[in-house]
């Protein structure tokens, strides 16, 4: 069993408990009554030819590093991210391995005017309706965790709800599956799901397979501005950053630095080659 398999088993158990407590019909009603979602595609794509977008993550822990930060006030942290120029705020809601919750999502949604990503392991449509009910504008769809039929259905549901999905890939085959499914925001995660090791060179190898007009996000492995510059040079329109921000004393300044450095690397390249 891989790490992903183990996480998903726990996600399904926790989901079953929430479903028993709140039926899907009730979640749908709450989702349809929520304020209209914000446009994450526009927020992430706005950096093309200018500044690389930063998706700033509220993240307490991870399977690879354990505890990262004691985030007592996720709303305050998200507000600092927004002040620093983040394009999107990502909120981990998986509890067992990442220490997150839907309460964190609620707190962040109430504190910022940016698109908010519910970052979790989506395996059921219930979670998408749930994300919308709690004010999320974006969900994460991991190709490795879904069949082509599920991926297509979940993308269709997010579109129906006016949301977007970040479709996460790790291999050439997964990028091809994401493109075939019609994903318009594709994340390339350079973390090996079996070993949890980071291989940053994978990003550039996969990013060039993504067609023009698609937002490409570099996920995992951002330690500093140099990593952001490397990802931007490899074709990233945006970077998703968690650990480097939650462990920094001034995350707002760090976001500003990442945005500027990534943008400079982006502008140094031939823009038409990056969509």
In a domain, 24, yes or no: yes
In a domain, 274, yes or no: no
CB 216 within 8 A of CB 210: yes
Report pLDDT for 67: 82
Q: By three-state DSSP, how is residue 164 classified?
A: strand
In a domain, 237, yes or no: yes
In a domain, 34, yes or no: yes
Is-catalytic flag, 119? yes
Q: How many domains is the chain partitioned into structurally?
A: 1
- Per annotation, catalytic residue among 61, 82, 220, 243: 220
Report pLDDT for 29: 98
In a domain, 214, yes or no: yes
- Per annotation, catalytic residue among 82, 168, 174, 243: 168
What is the CATH number for 174?
A: 3.20.20.70
Report pLDDT for 165: 98
- Per annotation, catalytic residue among 59, 61, 62, 94: 59
Is-catalytic flag, 130? no
Nearest partner of 264 among 217, 232, 224, 222, judged by Cα = 232
Domain that holds residue 115: 3-269
- Per annotation, catalytic residue among 82, 94, 130, 219: 219
In a domain, 275, yes or no: no
In a domain, 145, yes or no: yes
State the pTM of this model.
Answer: 0.94
Going from the first residue of the chain to its last (275 residues), give the mean pLDDT of each consecutive group of 10, the final group possibly shorter: 89 97 98 97 71 92 81 95 96 94 97 98 98 98 97 98 98 98 97 87 95 94 93 93 89 93 77 49
Report pLDDT for 47: 45
In a domain, 196, yes or no: yes
Is-catalytic flag, 125? no
Report pLDDT for 156: 98
């Amino acid at each position: 069993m891989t790490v992903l398999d183990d996480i998903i088993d726990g996600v399904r158990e926790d989901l079953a408990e929430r479903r028993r407590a709140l039926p899907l019909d009730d979640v749908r009603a709450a989702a349809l009554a929520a304020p209209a979602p914000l446009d994450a595609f526009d927020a992430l794509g706005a950096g093309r030819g200018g500044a690389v977008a930063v998706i700033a993550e509220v993240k307490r822990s991870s399977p690879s590093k354990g505890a990262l930060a004691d985030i007592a006030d996720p709303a305050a942290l998200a507000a600092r991210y927004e002040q620093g120029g983040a394009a999107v705020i990502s909120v981990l809601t998986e509890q067992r391995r990442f220490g997150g919750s839907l309460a964190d999502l609620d707190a962040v949604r109430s504190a910022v005017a940016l698109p908010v990503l519910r970052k979790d392991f989506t395996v059921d449509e219930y979670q998408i309706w749930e994300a919308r009910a709690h004010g999320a504008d974006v969900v994460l769809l991991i190709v490795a965790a879904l069949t082509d039929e599920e991926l297509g259905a979940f993308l269709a549901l997010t579109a129906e709800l006016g949301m977007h999905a970040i479709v996460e890939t790790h291999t050439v085959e997964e990028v091809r599956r994401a493109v075939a499914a019609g994903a318009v925001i594709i994340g390339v995660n350079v973390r090996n799901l079996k070993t949890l090791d980071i291989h940053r060179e994978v990003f550039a190898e996969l990013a060039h397979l993504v067609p023009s007009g698609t937002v490409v996000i570099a996920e995992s492995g951002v330690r500093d501005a140099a990593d952001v510059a490397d990802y931007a040079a490899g074709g990233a329109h945006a970077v998703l950053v968690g650990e480097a921000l939650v462990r920094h004393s001034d995350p707002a300044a760090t976001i500003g630095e990442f945005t500027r450095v990534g943008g400079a690397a982006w502008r140094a390249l031939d823009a038409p080659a990056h969509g």
